[in-house]
C-alpha cells in the first residue's frame, strides 16, 4: 500500500513538473541557421551496441530531430579505428557510439582508448542520479564524475624493461581540473571533490592535487575538498548524497563512475560522454556492461535508457535544447510509469518495447 501511494505521489509530482515544462519561455533565442540538420558520426559497436544505437535512431526519427547519422562499422577486434571514421568525427565534431569490446591482455590496444587519444577527448563525464520511480538504496544522488581520459595509467606508456619486468609511466596535467571547475561553475554545482591516492603516489597524484588546488583558487564560490580513493569508495556506498562533482585521474575515475552508477540505479540508465577542445563522443556513461553478453543480445533485452539520455546530452551539446528536453522527459516518464523496463531494472521488456514506449511518451 505504501509503495502504491509513493508511486502515485511521484506520478502527480511528475505531471506537475511536466505542466511547468509546457510553459514556454524566451530564454533560448537561436541564431539564424541553427535549425539546419547536423551530421553525427554513429558507431554501433559490439554486443548490445547495435540494439541501443538502433533505439536512438528510431527515437530521433520520431522526434524529427535535426540530426542525421553517418554510420560506420567498427569493432573492438580491429587493429585500429579506420581513418575514415576519425575523419568523419573530426568533420562533424560529434559522435554517438555503442561499446567496443576490448580484448583482455595480449598487447591488444583498446579502440575506445585509441579513439579518445586520437581525438584528444581528455575529459570523460558521467552523470549518476536517481530517476523518479526507480527504487534504489539511496535517495538524493546526483553525482557528476569527471575523469581524465588520456593520461594516467590509460596513457599506454608502458614497456617491458627485461623479460618479466614491465614499467608503466603515469603523468597528469591541469586541464582536467580546469574542466571540472568550469563545469561546476556553468552548471551551478556547489562542490568539487578531487579523488586521489597521494598518500602513496606522492609525486604523480601529488601533482594532480596541486593542479586542483591552483584551479580551485580561481573559483571561490565553489567548495573544494579532497578524498583518498579508498575512503571515497566506502563513502560512495554509504553516503553518496555528500558528493556533487568529482574530478579524478583516469584509473580511479573508471572505478568511481561505475560504483556511483550502480548506486544510482545501474549502468544501463547512466548517461555520459567524452569531450575535448574540438570534438565530443557520447556513449553509455559507465563502461561496465556497455557491450553486454550474448544472452542479452540474443534475447534483445538490452537497456537503451543510458544511450537515450546520452543522446539528450548530445542534443544539448548541439544547441537543440527543446529536443533534448523532450527526449529526457519521455525517458523519465517511461521509467516513472514502470510498465516498460528491461531485465536489469526488474522488468521483462525488450529493447524495442522500451523504445516504443519512449516514442509514445514524446510530447
Give tens-digit pLDDT for 179-216: 999 999 999 999 999 999 888 888 888 889 999 999 99
Higher pLDDT, 16 or 227: 227
Answer yes or no: is pLDDT of 172 > 80.
no
Distance CA 232, CA 229 (A): 5
Q: Identical fold at 36-122+268-362 and 137-264?
A: yes
Answer yes or no: is pLDDT of 4 > 60.
no
Cα separations in angstroms, 355 against 187, 206, 324, 340: 29, 46, 16, 9
Superfamily of domain 36-122+268-362: Isopropylmalate Dehydrogenase (3.40.718.10)
DSSP element (H, E) containing 51: helix 49-63
**What value does the mean pLDDT of the chain take?**
89
Superfamily of domain 137-264: Isopropylmalate Dehydrogenase (3.40.718.10)
The domain spans of the chain are 36-122+268-362, 137-264
Nearest Cα neighbor of 148 from 208, 231, 235, 94 is 208
List, in sequence order, every residue forming a beta bridge with 146; answer none if it has no partner.
125, 247
Q: Mind listing the pLDDT tens digit for each residue in 125-142?
A: 999 999 999 999 998 999
Q: What is the pLDDT of residue 198?
A: 83
Q: What is the pLDDT of residue 154?
A: 62
Higher pLDDT, 312 or 200: 312
Q: Mind listing the pLDDT tens digit for each residue in 223-261?
A: 999 999 999 999 999 999 999 999 999 888 889 999 999
Q: Mind listing the pLDDT tens digit for each residue in 75-88?
A: 988 999 999 999 99
Q: Provide mean pLDDT across the span 21-31.
A: 67
Contact between residue 312 and residue 285 where contact means Cβ atoms under 8 Å apart: no
Q: Is the pTM of this model over 0.85?
A: yes
C-alpha cell at 169: 609511466
Q: Provide mean pLDDT across the span 135-161.
A: 82
Query: Please, which pLDDT band fits residue 20 given cuts at 50, 70 and 90?
Result: very low
Amino acid at each position: 500500500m505504501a509503495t502504491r501511494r509513493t508511486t502515485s505521489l511521484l506520478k502527480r509530482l511528475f505531471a506537475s513538473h511536466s505542466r511547468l515544462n509546457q510553459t514556454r519561455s524566451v530564454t533560448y533565442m537561436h541564431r539564424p541557421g541553427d535549425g539546419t540538420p547536423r551530421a553525427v558520426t554513429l558507431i554501433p559497436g559490439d554486443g548490445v551496441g547495435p540494439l541501443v544505437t538502433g533505439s536512438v535512431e528510431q527515437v530521433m526519427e520520431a522526434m524529427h530531430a535535426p540530426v542525421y547519422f553517418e554510420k560506420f562499422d567498427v569493432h573492438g577486434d580491429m587493429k585500429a579505428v579506420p581513418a575514415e571514421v576519425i575523419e568523419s568525427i573530426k568533420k562533424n565534431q560529434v559522435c554517438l557510439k555503442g561499446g567496443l569490446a576490448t580484448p583482455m591482455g595480449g598487447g591488444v590496444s583498446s579502440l575506445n582508448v585509441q579513439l579518445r587519444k586520437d581525438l584528444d577527448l581528455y575529459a570523460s563525464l558521467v552523470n549518476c542520479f536517481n530517476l523518479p520511480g526507480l527504487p534504489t538504496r539511496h535517495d538524493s544522488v546526483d553525482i557528476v564524475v569527471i575523469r581524465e581520459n588520456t593520461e594516467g595509467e590509460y596513457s599506454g606508456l608502458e614497456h617491458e624493461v627485461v623479460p618479466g619486468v614491465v614499467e608503466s609511466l603515469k603523468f597528469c596535467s591541469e586541464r582536467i581540473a580546469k574542466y571540472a571547475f568550469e563545469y561546476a561553475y556553468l552548471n551551478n554545482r556547489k562542490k568539487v571533490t578531487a579523488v586521489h591516492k597521494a598518500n602513496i603516489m606522492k609525486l604523480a597524484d601529488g601533482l594532480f592535487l596541486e593542479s586542483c588546488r591552483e584551479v580551485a583558487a580561481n573559483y571561490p564560490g565553489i567548495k573544494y575538498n579532497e578524498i583518498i580513493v579508498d575512503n571515497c569508495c566506502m563513502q560512495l556506498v554509504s553516503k553518496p548524497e555528500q558528493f556533487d562533482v568529482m574530478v579524478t585521474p583516469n584509473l580511479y575515475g573508471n572505478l568511481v563512475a561505475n560504483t556511483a552508477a550502480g548506486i544510482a540505479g545501474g549502468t544501463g540508465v547512466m548517461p555520459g560522454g567524452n569531450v575535448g577542445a574540438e570534438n565530443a563522443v557520447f556513449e553509455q556513461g559507465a563502461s561496465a556492461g556497455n557491450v553486454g553478453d550474448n544472452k542479452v543480445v540474443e534475447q534483445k533485452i538490452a537497456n537503451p535508457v543510458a544511450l537515450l539520455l546520452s543522446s539528450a546530452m548530445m542534443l544539448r551539446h548541439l544547441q537543440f535544447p527543446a529536443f533534448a528536453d523532450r527526449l529526457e522527459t519521455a525517458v523519465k516518464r517511461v521509467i516513472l510509469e514502470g510498465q516498460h523496463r528491461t531485465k536489469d531494472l526488474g522488468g521483462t521488456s525488450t529493447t524495442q518495447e522500451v523504445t516504443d514506449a519512449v516514442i509514445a511518451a514524446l510530447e
